[in-house]
């Protein structure tokens, strides 16, 4: 093969084997490898890691070595024996004791997202999500499918808490939100973004509006210390009266829904919003030509296999918000995964 053919084949092989990389990460996370190493006084030998998580010695050795090549673990050799430890990335993002741990999101991806993606070709043929075929759960009521058990609901809510532990600050500081003392976080789950909002704008009061079962789970599993400034209200934002607010936050909400449903929700928000108030939309924005970023393109395919929606360009959001009555449209690319859009009534 010529050098260009060789490069092309290697690239193809990397793409084809990409799922194996994901599974190495998922398996090490599920087994508790990073947690065990974070609690240890120093690097551990294979036997200690295998015994600590209840795994096969020989299988664990292969997993640990793959993690080293992926820069998830370090390895040092002493007396002919390998000793493994966490890298800085693993300490920050893969150990459950870290405030920026992403373990629950990774496990949600392993147990739910990964299985839906196994039916991507069928999703493209049909143009709809694959919950029924994958889990036997009807997907007409989207979040009944996503929250198909109490355990799944807790897992997903914890996963979103982890997302905002890393991404919350960048989207909430993209614009000066101190002008909006009364905030409503629609579909705010466990209140993770509300908590970030309070840290950045201590004078605000945030109402988290979400489905009754989500609010009950939030109060039971994710109690917030700032109860006097964060309130929870039960309701369906497509059907029930929305709390009055100066600012409505829709974070990772509109990407779940087709344009018609988005317009329906935005019109309801506009009617509830105080004059001079605003709406903050937090999503991963596609470039205007839709040729990137790659991660956002992949997220849009994820919306196909898991929801009714898609990722969108700034101009697409502008059209949706304008048709609902909002004006003074602004957007900012944060340089992180999620971007911010602000519009006013």
Which residues are the active-site residues? 255
DSSP codes joined into one string, 182-246:
EEEEET-TTSHHHHHHHHH-TT-EEEEEE-HHHHHHHHHH---S-TTTEEEEE--TTTSPPPPEE
Nearest to 106 by CA among 187, 169, 195, 31: 31
User: Which residue in the block uniquely carries the two structure tokens 């002919």?
Assistant: 80
CA 203 – CA 201 distance, rounded (Å): 6
Joined together, the tokens standing for residue 216 give 């009950």
Residue 27 burial (C-beta neighbours within 10 Å; 0-12, 13-18, 19+): middle
Which DSSP letter does residue 119 get? T
Nearest to 113 by CA among 159, 66, 164: 159
């Amino acid at each position: 093969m010529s050098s260009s053919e060789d490069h092309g084949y290697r690239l193809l092989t990397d793409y084809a084997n990409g799922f194996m990389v994901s599974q190495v990460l998922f398996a090490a996370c599920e087994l508790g490898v990073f947690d065990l190493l974070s609690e240890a006084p120093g690097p551990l030998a294979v036997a200690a890691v295998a015994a600590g998580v209840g795994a096969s010695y020989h299988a664990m050795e292969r997993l640990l070595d793959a993690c080293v090549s992926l820069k998830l673990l370090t390895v040092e050799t002493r007396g002919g024996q390998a000793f493994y430890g966490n890298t800085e990335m693993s300490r920050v993002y893969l150990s459950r004791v870290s405030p920026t741990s992403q373990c629950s999101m990774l496990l949600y991806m392993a147990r739910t997202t990964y299985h839906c993606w196994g039916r991507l070709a069928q999703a493209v043929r049909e143009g709809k999500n694959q919950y029924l075929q994958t889990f036997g759960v009807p997907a007409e009521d989207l979040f009944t499918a996503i929250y198909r058990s109490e355990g799944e609901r807790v897992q997903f809510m914890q996963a979103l808490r982890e997302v905002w532990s890393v991404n919350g600050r960048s989207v909430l500081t993209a614009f000066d939100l101190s002008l909006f003392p009364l905030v409503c976080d629609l579909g705010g789950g466990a209140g993770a973004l509300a908590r970030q909002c309070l840290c950045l704008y201590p004078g605000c009061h945030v109402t988290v509006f979400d489905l009754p079962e989500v609010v009950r789970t939030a109060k039971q599993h994710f109690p917030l210390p700032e109860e006097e400034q964060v309130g929870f209200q039960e309701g369906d934002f497509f059907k029930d009266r929305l709390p009055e607010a100066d600012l409505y936050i829709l974070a990772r909400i509109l990407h779940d829904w087709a344009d018609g449903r988005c317009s329906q929700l935005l019109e309801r928000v506009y009617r509830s919003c105080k004059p001079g108030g605003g709406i903050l939309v937090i999503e991963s924005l596609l470039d205007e030509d839709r040729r990137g970023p790659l991660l956002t393109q992949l997220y849009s395919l994820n919306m196909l296999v898991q929801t009714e929606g898609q990722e969108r360009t700034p101009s697409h959001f502008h059209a949706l918000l304008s048709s609902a009555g909002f004006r003074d449209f602004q957007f900012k690319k944060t340089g992180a995964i999620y971007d911010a859009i602000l519009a006013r009534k």
